[in-house]
Structure 1
Amino acid sequence: MRVNLDVQSLRSFIKVGETKSFTRAAEALSLTQPAISQQIKRLEDLLGVELFARGNRQVLLTLEGEKLFGYAKNIVMCNDKVGRLFEKFEKRETITVGMPEHFCEGMLSQIISRMATHFPTIQMVVKVARSGLLMEAVNEGKIDLCLVIDDFGNTQEPFWHTLSLRWFAGEGAGVSDSPQGVPLVLFKPPCGFRSLAIRSLEECGIKWRCVYESEDLMSLRSAVQAGVGITLLPFVAQVSGLKSLEGISSLPALPQFAVMLKERAGWSPVYRCEVLELIRSVWVSEYVNVSL
């Protein structure tokens, strides 16, 4: 005989057996007496036996009820053990943090490590994208906060630090006076740094040509390291295979940019200040001496 026993019905059966009363069992389980009666009736119909002998004052287990009683306790106990086993896998609170690729090498591992140490119950989700896309995402409520690079002319908010932009070439390359113009390695549009590089050259009457386009930072750096052309990047750290052209070329000077941490409107968990300070402290330890 194969049966599928309902755990809630077994709980009611056990409680009636212990209290010898449908009324007291209902009170103990915060159920109505008709609900208890229906659950017991379903068990009896499923097993094909009577589980209780109903008297005037007490409800007593029948012989079949006594046989079931011990098994029912074991089944409910095993069910509850399984529930407790998976309690720790319940969905945790989540923070979604965004940052540009430029900061991932230095900051991301430290932020993840410190978040795991100081906020072990919070799940961190990271969104890596260009600053413009990250600002759109935080304004649309898709992410909670993001570290971004923005033009001073566009921002009216407090910023953390200023960040230098520089022209970079491969270690063994330079800027030639080719009649075809300066060979540029650029991110694919839309990209603020791409637009700035082109605009800066054109305003100085310097010819240029795009020799390589990339979707990601690693590919862009590889092209520059290979000597294909030059590029414009935030100066956040020395990168093997690249050299700054600051002060050694006739390329136009570049403006300073602001580094800011933007928050989603309405994002105000109790740990907000601690998380912001954690990210700020990682930024200061990693970049402040380079970027100022």
Structure 2
Amino acid sequence: MILEELRTLALFAEEGSIQKVARRLPLTQPAVTRQIQRLEDMLAVTLLDRRQKPPRLTPAGLEVLARGRDILASVEALKSFTGKAEPEGLLRLGLAHGLSDRDVAEAIANAAAMFPKVSLRLKTGWSAELVDQFDRGQIDLAIVLRAGGSEHGGACIGIERLGIVTHEQAGQISDLKNAAWILSPAPCDARQLLLVALGDDGRRLSIAAEIQDPAMQLEWVRRGLGVGLMPMRLFGRQLPQGVTLVETEKLDLSMQVVVLRSPHIHRLTKVAEAIAGAIGSVVNQHG
């Protein structure tokens, strides 16, 4: 706050009148007067000799002006340094397992390549684990999956749409009551979403296999060994041969892709923004 008042005082010294300062900012004359009065209150000194018309700086005002100009110059130099300096250092990134695929990996690599002085420490995990590690300060940037309606801060950068796939010609979700499922191990984010979406039916799921790798999951589905739940963006515009998409009626099988970013990474903020933006582009392009 005090920086605004110091800038106003410096402008007053240049212009010599409240009216001219108001035109340059631009503010109303009463607003300019209040800024100078606030500065006087904060510093407990009289900056303007108001007995003169127009008012002039008092000796104390001249001293504050000199010191204030030094402060303003230092702030501008600091802005220039942080704005132009190339990011460098270590960025600790946590990525949800559900986003750990080739397209996302390529997007992260391309974004990181723009900052050769930055070392990236990347780890994958389930979203709840990554959020906990972020809260503990163990990672600087977390890209997690979250069901719509849940809250933990962060910014949504995309929507991950999931689909139920099977080898058989099952038309609707109701046709799969006795099906065996091929899912990632608990506490998989997509698996938890499926259980909530299915309600009571979710408690009776028969698990044929727990497989974390999506390519292996898909191969098991293609061979008719069970029903799977997968991100639709992995299929592009066409499902693989031997795989059918199940009509899920009104089930909401979408998740938000959310970024949690530490406020203490300073110059690495540019890197974090680039990585988050690249991941968001991949998800939204295929979503």
With normalisation by structure 2, the TM-score equals 0.57
Where 1:153 maps in the other structure, the secondary structure is coil
Equivalent position of 1:10 in the other structure: none
Note if 1:107 corresponds to 2:107: no
Residue 123 in 1 paired to residue 119 in 2? yes
| Closer/same/farther in 2, CA of residues 156 and 207 from structure 1, 3 Å limit | closer
Q: Which residue of 1 aligns with 2:252?
A: 254
What RMSD in Å do the two structures reach over aligned CA positions?
3.1
CA contact (8 A) 1:201 1:252 kept: no
Q: Which residue of 2 aligns with 1:245?
A: 245
Change (3 A) 1:251 1:112: same
Q: Is the 8 A contact 2:157 2:256 kept in 1?
A: yes
Unaligned runs of 5+ in 2: 1-87
1:166-222 Cα distance to aligned partner (Å, 9 max, x none): 21224xx34498898121111222223223323433546996411111244343333
**What is the CA–CA distance in structure 2 between the aligned matches of 1:180 and 1:222, rounded to whole Å?**
22
Q: Percent identity?
A: 18
How far has the Cα of 1:235 moved from its partner?
2.4
Q: Which residue of 1 aligns with 2:225?
A: 228
Deviations 1:239-283 (A, max 9, x none): 645745253xx676234321111124x4322130x2233124323
- Answer 1 or 2: higher relative contact order, Cα 8 Å, separation at least 6: 2
Q: Is the 8 A contact 2:95 2:143 kept in 1?
A: yes
Q: Paired residue for 1:186, among 178, 183, 186?
A: 183
SS in 1 for 2:229: strand
Amino acid at match of 1:128: T
Q: 1:204–1:252: 8 Å Cα contact kept in structure 2?
A: no
- Within 5 A, what are the aligned runs for 1:93-172? 93-103=89-99, 104-116=101-113, 118-155=114-151, 157=153, 158-170=155-167
What SS does the aligned partner of 1:112 have?
helix
The answer for the alignment partner of 1:61 in structure 2 is none
Q: Which runs of 4+ in 1 moved over 3 A?
A: 174-180, 198-208, 215-219, 239-244
- Count of equivalent residues: 193
Q: CA deviation at 1:132?
A: 2.0
Q: Structure 1: where are the runs of 5+ without partners?
A: 1-91
1:14-25 alignment runs, 5 A limit? none
Deviation at 1:127, TM superposition (A): 0.6
Rg (Cα) greater in structure: 1
TM-score (norm 1): 0.56
